[in-house]
A and B are shown apart, each in its own frame.
Chain A
Amino acid sequence: MSSLEVKDYLGEIRSHLRLDPSAERQVIGEICAHFRDKVDDLKGQGLTHADAARRAIEAFGRPKVVARLMCDAFGRGSWSDALMAALPHALVAILFASHLWRTPAAGIPVWFFIVCVTLFGWSRGKPRWLYSWIGYSLSPLLIIGFLSYGTAGQAVGFALNGFRGELPGLPGTALVLGFYVCAAWVVGRTVVRVVRRDWLLASVMIVPLPIIGSWLFFLGKAGGLVQSDLPPLHLWDESMAMAFLALAAGSATFVRIRKRLWKVIALVLIASTTLVALGPNLWGAHGFLQLSLFFLLMVVFLLSPALVESKVGHGEGEDDVWWNEYWSDEVSSPYPRS
């Protein structure tokens, strides 16, 4: 066995880690220092380098188990992380509870604040609380998409009709279609980048979107976003506020849970229950079968990032083989040379 296999072993551990990049570097760096010491010790006992490396790997244990234990060790966020993760949901809940979402002078500054915090967190090593903020930063794309779907629908109808009939104004159509393409690119790229770290964080990120989407759907049926002063909407504001408060509690719980499996269960249960509880208010009374269908759809939606991860892989970014620098045959230094 050569040190190439130690590199593979490190890579295998890394592929199962679900930590932020700086934590992953520290973990791999520490394990690499261990291997250096161990291999040097075994070589001192008369083993060849290859045998020493093999013995060191055997003694360390299965990479998947080590990675899982490491994720569990890092899995639990602090109370301040939990508070930060809950904050964007709570802010949106306040907007709905106070009916202030209808006042652009209140809604836009809140969104701007959320975007600023998101950019701050993104540039500061993507802490674990960041992901619930990203979802709300992206939500205006959903709202603008909703507002312009009439034009887009007309354009698609025109194309499906063999380019016959009436096309809405060309500049407007081009603008709307361009927006859809850009929005899809931004959302897709963000989701892929988050999924490469951990698909579960991508689920946390997208969890508010079905709730906002359902609400927009209802608004569309009730006359549209611009006619939102209709009296029944006040009732909706309370339900939406409760839903986002539930998400706030769910996000905080998610951050504080240590075990990954429990995180998945907590996220799916809280989000799905929230949507199901909101469903009858949004779309009218539904039977058990329909509520079950909503629940299932939400579960599938929340687990879909796992499918994306199976396609795009984990941690395969611009520096996908960075751990190679930690281990080399030729040099005796076990850890990145400063």
Chain B
Amino acid sequence: MPEENLDYPPDLLRGNTENLLLSLIDELPQTYGYQLIKEILSRSRGFLRFKEGTVYPALRKLENEGLIHGEWLTLANGQRRRAYRITPRGREALHKRVAMWKGFTDAINLVLRPARAQEAR
């Protein structure tokens, strides 16, 4: 859940949390919840802010749908973490979702472009 005082409606981010997670898990091998949160914050230059507790249910949902696979790893210092990797089904779903997102944003941009041009004038 994004924090309240942001410049975008919370639903905008909420609806895309799973896509962001899926994409990062595809890119980062054996990643884990906290790393994913930091990565999203860092790549979006602090713009995309989650209530961090909402990331873990999203991960579980992706796992239950068979899109990612989670397993407990024991680190050298004895700490244990739940690490995730994408499944073939998850990769397929990611390609579809990215294509859908690109189509959607292209369409939105096409509609918004005249308004931007008007603003510039």
Name A's B-contacting residues (CB within 8 A): 26-27, 29-31, 33-34, 36-38, 59-63, 65-66, 69-70, 72-74, 76, 332-338
B74 lies within 8 A of A338 (CB): yes
B57 touches A30 (CB 8 A): no
Q: Which of B22-30, B77-85, B89-97, B102-110 contacts A (4 or more CB under 8 A)?
A: B77-85
Can you give 19 contacting A-B residue pairs, CB < 8 Å? Answer: A29-B80, A29-B82, A31-B56, A33-B34, A33-B80, A34-B33, A34-B52, A34-B56, A60-B51, A61-B53, A62-B53, A66-B56, A66-B57, A69-B53, A70-B57, A72-B57, A72-B61, A73-B61, A338-B78
What 1/0 flags go to B57-83 for Cβ under 8 Å of A? 110110010000000101001111110
Q: Is B54 an interface residue (CB 8 A)?
A: yes
| Bound CA–CA A148/B89 (angstroms) | 58
Count A-B pairs with CB separation below 8 Å.
79
B20 contacts which chain A residues (CB < 8 A)?
none
- Report which of A59, A76, A332 forms a contact with B64, defined as CB distance below 8 A: A76
Q: A333-B79, A335-B81 are in contact. List 5 more A-B contacts (CB 8 A).
A: A29-B72, A33-B32, A61-B1, A62-B53, A332-B77
Q: Determine the interface band of chain B, counting residues with CB < 8 A from chain A.
A: 20 to 34
Inter-subunit contact B52/A337 (CB<8 Å): no
Check A36 against B79 for contact (C-beta < 8 Å).
Answer: yes
| Cβ contact within 8 Å between B60 and A336 | no
- Which residues of the partner chain B approach A336 to less than 8 Å between Cβ atoms? 80
Assess whether A33 is in contact with B56, with CB atoms less than 8 Å apart: no
Are A60 and B64 touching (Cβ within 8 A)?
no
Q: Is the CB of B33 within 8 A of A66?
A: no
- Chain B residues close to A by CB (< 8 Å): 1, 32-34, 51-54, 56-58, 60-61, 64, 72, 74, 77-82
The complex places the Cα of A337 from the Cα of B77 at a distance, in Å, of: 10
Contact A30 B64 (CB under 8 A): no
Kindly state the separation between the CA atoms of A109 and B64 in the bound complex, as whole angstroms: 36
Name the residue of chain A whose CB is nearest to the CB of B34. A37
Question: Which of A27, A30, A34, A59 is within 8 Å of B51, CB to CB?
Answer: A59
CA distance A31 to B55 in the complex (A): 10
Docked pose: A334 CA to B52 CA in angstroms: 17
- Note all chain B residues with C-beta closer than 8 A to A66: 53-54, 56-57
* B64: A residues at CB distance < 8 A: 73-74, 76
Q: With contacts A33-B81, A333-B78, A335-B80 known, is A74 near B56, CB below 8 A?
A: no
Task: Kindly report which residue of chain A lies nearest to residue B58, judged by CB atoms.
Answer: A73
CB < 8 Å neighbour of A31 from B53, B72, B74, B79:
B53
In the complex, chain A residues whose CB is within 8 Å of the CB of B72? 29
CB distance from B5 to the nearest CB of A (A): 14
Cβ contacts under 8 Å, B53 to chain A:
31, 60-63, 65-66, 69
